[in-house]
């Protein structure tokens, strides 16, 4: 098994907004491949935007999700970062709190879809990397393929309402602009196809199940 340093990553609101991406990020953190960080401001941003676009959800549901995240990762919520904000220059000043949280938590990286909003020229001053979630997932998979695969399998198994197959979850992740990690995990999709064919054509296997 390959060893890897403990990586600390601030999760931007845009990667917590889509439930499949959020779930995969937290599933990988749960088995210790990195340490996630966020702030109440980040949590408020993604949940507020989600409520605008998903009228079928309500604030209590998302508050429960956020509470569960903070319970599962008790050291993830970053505080006392506001003093860094004024010294940070970004294309959109409203994004400075994300970098400030990364500085305060001594994070190695920020995970975001909005790469252009966090110029490398600014982040390198704080020794912080900026990574697209697909690049981040692929980076971890290349280091620990068995563990990332394990995290993915556990995530799929947890899905109950509605229950989804590996093939369906991979398709959802691919639609979330995660094509590289989906490609890495395609062996699972192939195993599913083989399994289903074996099941339908092998009466012994059907009886065993």
pLDDT of residue 188: 67
pLDDT of residue 160: 87
Global pTM value: 0.87
- The domain boundary, picked from 118, 137, 156, lies at 137
pLDDT of residue 196: 43
Same domain flag for 125 and 150: no
pLDDT of residue 65: 96
pLDDT of residue 190: 53
pLDDT of residue 6: 78
Domain count, the chain: 2
* pLDDT lower than 50: segments of the chain: 1-3, 191-209
Cα 50 to Cα 40, 58, 60: the distances in Å are: 15, 9, 13
Same domain flag for 197 and 132: no
Cα 185 from chain centre: 16
**Can you give the CATH number for the domain in which 46 is found?**
3.40.50
pLDDT of residue 162: 84
Task: Tell whether 3 is covered by a domain.
Answer: no
Same domain flag for 29 and 90: yes
């Amino acid at each position: 098994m390959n060893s890897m340093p403990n990586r600390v990553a601030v999760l931007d609101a845009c990667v917590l907004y889509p439930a499949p991406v959020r779930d995969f990020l937290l599933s990988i953190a749960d088995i210790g491949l990195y340490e996630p960080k966020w702030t109440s401001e980040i949590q408020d941003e993604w949940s507020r935007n989600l409520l605008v676009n998903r009228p079928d959800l309500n604030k209590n549901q998302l508050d429960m999700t956020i509470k569960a995240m903070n319970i599962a990762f008790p050291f993830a919520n970053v505080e006392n970062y506001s003093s860094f904000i004024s010294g940070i220059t970004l294309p959109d000043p409203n994004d400075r709190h994300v970098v400030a949280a990364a500085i305060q938590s001594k994070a190695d990286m920020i995970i975001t879809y909005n790469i252009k909003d966090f110029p490398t020229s600014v982040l390198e001053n704080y020794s912080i990397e900026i990574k697209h979630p697909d690049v981040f997932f692929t980076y971890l998979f290349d280091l620990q393929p068995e563990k990332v695969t394990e995290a993915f399998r556990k995530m799929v198994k947890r899905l109950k309402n509605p229950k989804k197959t590996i093939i369906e979850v991979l398709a959802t992740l691919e639609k979330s602009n995660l094509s590289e990690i989906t490609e890495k995990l395609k062996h699972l999709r192939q195993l599913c196809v083989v399994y289903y064919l074996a099941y339908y054509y092998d009466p012994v296997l059907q009886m065993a199940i």
